[in-house]
Amino acid sequence: MRQALVLGLVAGFAAAPSPQAAAQTEDPVAAEFDKFREVLEKDNPAELWEVKGEQLWKTPRGPKNASLEKCDLGLGPGVVKGAYAQMPRYFADVGRVMDAEARIVHCMITLQGFTYAELAKAPFSNATRTPDPVSITTYVAAQSAGVKLAAPQNHAQEKAAYAAGKEIFFYRAGSFDFSCTSCHGVDGQRIRTQPLPNFTKPEQAIRSVQGWPGYRMTGGVMHTLQWRLNDCYRQQRFPEPGYTSETLSALLTYLTVNSNGQVYKGPGIKR
């Protein structure tokens, strides 16, 4: 009874105009951010990590004292150009779909002799340290700048990864009942002042891929999509997803395939 009454009240007031509702439709704040995003991207500190990543790729390192120049990113051993734009993809040697960083970590293990445990122990950048896979992923990504995204959907496992990724994207759980769609399922919304693209739409999905790996202004550190998804899940109040796990590769398959056909611009700059 009580509830019905209040519901009626609420419905009655829903039509009351919000004093600043107009400000929400055409977002001048977002427009201002976009204008200066261009200025910031013109000179991007991410380039400092591209240089570092290239050195790490070419230098013999690890217990096996090998470089990564024989690493197969999906276009054949050692082919870096354009590879990032065609991942995640299925790799027969491991029987699973891998995103770029997952594949780089795989190569560091198999070619150079590093262990997953040591690479996964502290995989994200902080003020004093940028993990090697982050720099290498930045280098690899830069070699796909200007290339159209074309994450393949040929192998059955690539299709399965897309389908699983979609389910993961929509999965609502955790203390706050959030899914990825809580922030990225509706057009034109923002959290605080940060615009939230709707990743279920192809024209906006590109914003999940574009600008990553990204130089993050907060903290002034380099981050990859592995970090982005990890921190989304933290804020989603979920438990923690495994670094370079199949779950994250599947989610990245969903996001990248949704963006296929659009031009990837290389490492970017993020708030």
- The catalytic residues are 232
Of 100, 141, 168, 229, the residue at the interface with other proteins (CB under 8 A) is: 168
d(C-alpha 238, C-alpha 197), whole Å: 21
Residue pair 160/96 in contact by the 8 Å Cβ criterion: no
Handedness of CA 236, 239, 243, 244 (dihedral sign): negative
CB nearer to other proteins: give 35 or 76: 35
Question: Taking CB under 8 A as the criterion, which residues in 61-90 touch other proteins?
Answer: none
Q: How far apart are CB 191 and other proteins at their closest, in Å? A: 4
Q: How far apart are CB 106 and other proteins at their closest, in Å? A: 11
d(C-alpha 59, C-alpha 53), whole Å: 10
Of 148, 245, 263, 265, the residue at the interface with other proteins (CB under 8 A) is: 245
d(C-alpha 171, C-alpha 154), whole Å: 25
Instruction: Return all residues near 242 (Cβ < 8 A) that are at least 6 apart.
Output: 120, 248
Question: Taking CB under 8 A as the criterion, which residues in 177-236 touch other proteins?
Answer: 177-179, 181-183, 186, 188-194, 196, 215, 217-220, 233-235
Question: Taking CB under 8 A as the criterion, which residues in 35-54 touch other proteins?
Answer: 35-37, 39-40, 42-45, 47-48, 51-52
Question: Taking CB under 8 A as the criterion, which residues in 15-34 touch other proteins?
Answer: 16, 18-21, 24, 29, 32-33
CB nearer to other proteins: give 79 or 118: 118
Residue pair 99/74 in contact by the 8 Å Cβ criterion: no
Binding track over 106-125 against other proteins, x by CB under 8 A: --------------------
Residue pair 223/229 in contact by the 8 Å Cβ criterion: no
d(C-alpha 87, C-alpha 147), whole Å: 12
Helix (H, G, I), strand (E, B) or coil at 245: coil
d(C-alpha 55, C-alpha 60), whole Å: 10
Of 1, 13, 76, 156, the residue at the interface with other proteins (CB under 8 A) is: 13
d(C-alpha 259, C-alpha 204), whole Å: 8
Of 1, 2, 117, 156, the residue at the interface with other proteins (CB under 8 A) is: 2
Q: How far apart are CB 149 and other proteins at their closest, in Å? A: 22
How many residues sit in the footprint of other proteins (CB under 8 A)? 84
